[in-house]
Chains A and B, each alone.
Chain A
Amino acid sequence: MTDHETGAGATTTGGAAPVLSMEGITKAFGDNVANDHIDLDLRRGEVHGLLGENGAGKSTLMKILYGLYRADSGRILLDGEPANIHNPNDAVSAGIGMVHQHFMLVPTLTVAENVVLGAEPSRGVLLDHDQAQRAVTELSDRYGLKVDPKARVGDLSVGLQQRVEVLKALYRDARILVLDEPTAVLTPQETEDLFEVLRGFVDQGLSIILITHKLGELLGVSDRITVIRDGKVVDTVQAADTDERQLATLMVGREVVLQVERSPAEPGDIRLDARGLEVLGVTGAPAVRGIDLQVRSGEILAVAGVDGNGQVELAEALAGIRPVAAGTVHVDGRDVTGLSAGARSDHGVAYIPEDRGGKGLVSEFTLAENFVLKRYDQAPYATRGWLRGSEISRYALERIKAFDVRPANEQATAASLSGGNQQKAIVARELDGDPAVLIANQPTRGVDVGAIEFIHRQLLAQRDRGAAILMISLELDEIHQLADRIVVMFGGRIMGEVAAEGATDEQLGLWMAGRDGENEQ
């Protein structure tokens, strides 16, 4: 870990022992090492940004800090003294307050009730509602977080609900405040307000850890930034000494592991044509805000970008799983905008989803049953409503062999396969029938190296065969290896498009951070 300090005492925070120090924190869930010997320290009055992609390990680290998880090894020091944090109560007593990404608020209760939950003021046996409201108002005024204590939380806007979450932490006398992806659900104005408030907190003596994957915001408000990738700390830098490009590269780039042979692209006709696409996300907020893109036969268009900028929603809308709020989608000239996923499948659209266990496979079905997920009611797999087990098995075995899915047992349940083999199975299923358009949504995420190479080869083979492939990836080197053209998404829009040949990580990183050359998004 390197610490780019410029001179002694140059920072306004410095001095005595850091108010919080996490040393050598390691935590594994089975085979998955979420935190790998992580060191992090927080100085008094500092705003320390914690940057990393989804799944990098930030949340796990903070849950350990808050006592929700226990680290396998490592220790936590508060003001230089070792602290034993076994549960949230310990964390709260130690002055650590957490503002969760997914609010832990009870919608049917009022603001005051939510804030005091667990530490309610009482008069005898009764809850002292007045005192609770007064406490909330007092905190509200002191920290500049205006909210009505008597309002029902379920009626509040997301931004106000977040204030309640913050008030909860403040009510318990937090000295260290951890905010987990606080701006994920806020409008730009609400984000500004939040950062104002955070600056106010620092003046009041709090120290803050800010977890996010949004680079631009961090630079605006943090003093130092620690970047985490794959469970390890990549670097800790002074905010003043770095910029978005460097941060993006630190956060997303990896060493190039494999090189797959690739012949130059010979793009033909446009096979996938999306115009003016607008798609709403899970929360109802727009995730895709007007996108045009075309993919031609025989080319791979990679969609780069930091996780959470609308890529998943774009892919789902193109595949037909998520409805399109506005715009059109054409496949081979045919308008498929109103068609369901199943119907689009009939028109040659194949989709490799992001989350294997959830959307692509039925875990408890056998491999054979999973292979016919999109064609179970068609000949020869079914006749007049009856499934033909032997035909299904035959087909499944053929696919298994073609894609080297292991174990080669079509009667094994999907759940019994490794992640890589599950993904191979999905790829095997989707690539059958020579699809016209293939939408791959992070096709190699969490997959072992051998399977990655195999899947890459398959994608290239499909592309050489004339399919139009749209691939969403969070990994720059995967993009460099496979893409013919690259577009970068930020905030639901396309920031820029470039041919793969001339694309630099710097340019891509800028776009990924929402910078469009001179203009900020």
Chain B
Amino acid sequence: MTAQLQAIGRALIFPAIAIILAFAVGAVVIVATGNNVIAAYGALLSGGFGSFQSLGRTIGNATPLIFTGLAVAVPFRAGLFNIGGEGQLFIGAIAGVAVGLLLPGPGPLVIIAAIVAAGLGGWLWGAIPGLLKVFGAHEVITTIMLNFVAINLAYWLARNPLAGEGLVPGTNFVPDPVRILRLSSGLGAAHYGFVLGIVAAIVAYLLIWRTTKGYEIRAVGLAPGAARYAGMSVAANGFLAIALGGMFAGFGGGLEALGTFGKVSVPFVSNLGFNGIGVALLGRNHPAGVVVGALFFGGLAAGAQQMQFATGVPLDLSDVLLAIVLLFVTATKLVELLIGRRARSLEAGTKLEGGLAG
């Protein structure tokens, strides 16, 4: 047990140090612009976690990020870098809303069908770069490109076949019975999508570490040579992993559309996919870490609004803080220099080393 706790502790060091350093830099910025650091950070904290209302906002923000974080973390285990979370999320969203709008039937059944459709859409959108990789196209480039294809496709669907009657461009609201329930009145906008997010994280964990398929995925990601020796297919497992990643992002999109918004309007959401990369990075590409990372991102966003409201420090500071955190987490050598220790063994899960041409 203690060995496991030690392992968790070691895994958390880099993110923790990165966060501390980032907030230090942020403090300097706050002071330099003539504001009070304590007040600002206090508002930040309370805005994120200080009340049930805040928690509700944090949870609401975190929900899609859990899914897009898993979308990066799962393929990472197979040695692949999925940057297509944004696009996969959009496909999932539009697929879910389409089913929600078009499928007749009792609410609960339609919800389930819609969520399944969302996951399926995401799966497909992850499978495309998976397949292209077999033809030699590196997934980093293809997933970035497919993001924009997906967003445009989703918007076209939302403005044309699925267009609604309202003033705001996009689809109609899905019928009320198809909306995902709020968690409880105290928690504001947060909905059961969060619970499903936790479930998804648990499923991802079980899949990767407790199944034979997960064993293969990990072997292929850590030691392709040994995996091939054992008879595993590197290509097939990679494909599966990235399709799964897409599926998670798709679920996230569907839940966001059905839960938070009730529709896909134009514009819809932004940067949830890219932020998923940061979430996965902070969470060391482990499902549990992803949940924590998502809550961190979500809390930061919620808190930033409070900070701006209470102290006038622009909420954009939270983006700056996040960017610095990300840089510090991945620039491992810098942190090594600062804390004076060769911490190579702690680096697992912070970078893609394979290059693009191979």
The chain A residues found within 8 Å of chain B, CB to CB, are 321, 340-343, 345, 351, 353, 358-365, 369, 373-374, 376-377, 382, 385-387, 389, 411
Partner-binding segment picked from B50-58, B168-176, B205-213, B295-303: B205-213
Whole-angstrom distance between the Cβ of A419 and the nearest chain B Cβ = 16
Q: Which residue of B lies closest to A387 (CB)?
A: B210
| A369 near B223: Cβ-Cβ < 8 Å | no
| A369 near B229: Cβ-Cβ < 8 Å | no
B226 at the A interface (CB under 8 A)? yes
B337 at the A interface (CB under 8 A)? no
Contacts of A353 in B (CB 8 A): 229
| B229 near A341: Cβ-Cβ < 8 Å | yes
B263 at the A interface (CB under 8 A)? no
| B219 near A373: Cβ-Cβ < 8 Å | yes
Contacts of B215 in A (CB 8 A): 369, 376-377, 387
5 additional contacts (CB under 8 A) given A377-B212, A387-B212: A343-B231, A361-B223, A362-B219, A365-B222, A386-B212
Whole-angstrom distance between the Cβ of A351 and the nearest chain B Cβ = 8
Contacts of A365 in B (CB 8 A): 218-219, 222-223
B38 at the A interface (CB under 8 A)? no
| A386 near B226: Cβ-Cβ < 8 Å | no
Contacts of A369 in B (CB 8 A): 215
Range of interface residues on B (Cβ < 8 Å): 20 to 34
**Segment 58-85 of B: residues with Cβ below 8 Å from A:** none
Contacts of A341 in B (CB 8 A): 228-231
| B348 near A364: Cβ-Cβ < 8 Å | yes
Residue picked from B3, B213, B222, B231, most chain A C-beta under 10 Å: B231
| B212 near A385: Cβ-Cβ < 8 Å | yes
Whole-angstrom distance between the Cβ of B270 and the nearest chain A Cβ = 36
Whole-angstrom distance between the Cβ of A438 and the nearest chain B Cβ = 15
Contacts of A321 in B (CB 8 A): 228-229
Residue from B212, B225, B231 in contact with A340 in the complex, judged by beta carbons closer than 8 Å: B231
**Segment 1-57 of B: residues with Cβ below 8 Å from A:** 3
Whole-angstrom distance between the Cβ of B237 and the nearest chain A Cβ = 13
Complex Cα–Cα for A300 and B229 (A): 24
| A342 near B222: Cβ-Cβ < 8 Å | no
Chain A to chain B contacts (Cβ below 8 Å), 12 pairs: A340-B231, A351-B229, A359-B225, A359-B226, A359-B229, A360-B229, A362-B226, A363-B222, A364-B348, A373-B229, A374-B231, A411-B3
| A358 near B211: Cβ-Cβ < 8 Å | no
Q: Which residue of B lies closest to A364 (CB)?
A: B222
Contacts of B212 in A (CB 8 A): 376-377, 382, 385-387
Contact with A along B185-229 (1 / 0, CB 8 A): 000000000000000000000000011111110110011011111
Complex Cα–Cα for A454 and B39 (A): 68
| B3 near A358: Cβ-Cβ < 8 Å | no
Contacts of A343 in B (CB 8 A): 231
Contacts of A360 in B (CB 8 A): 226, 229
Complex Cα–Cα for A382 and B219 (A): 16
Whole-angstrom distance between the Cβ of B233 and the nearest chain A Cβ = 10
Whole-angstrom distance between the Cβ of B325 and the nearest chain A Cβ = 25
Q: Which residue of A lies closest to B227 (CB)?
A: A362
Contacts of B216 in A (CB 8 A): 376
Residue from B213, B218, B225 in contact with A358 in the complex, judged by beta carbons closer than 8 Å: B225
Contacts of A342 in B (CB 8 A): 230-232
Q: 6 tightest CB-CB pairs across the interface, nearest first?
A: A342-B231, A362-B223, A377-B212, A359-B225, A373-B230, A364-B222
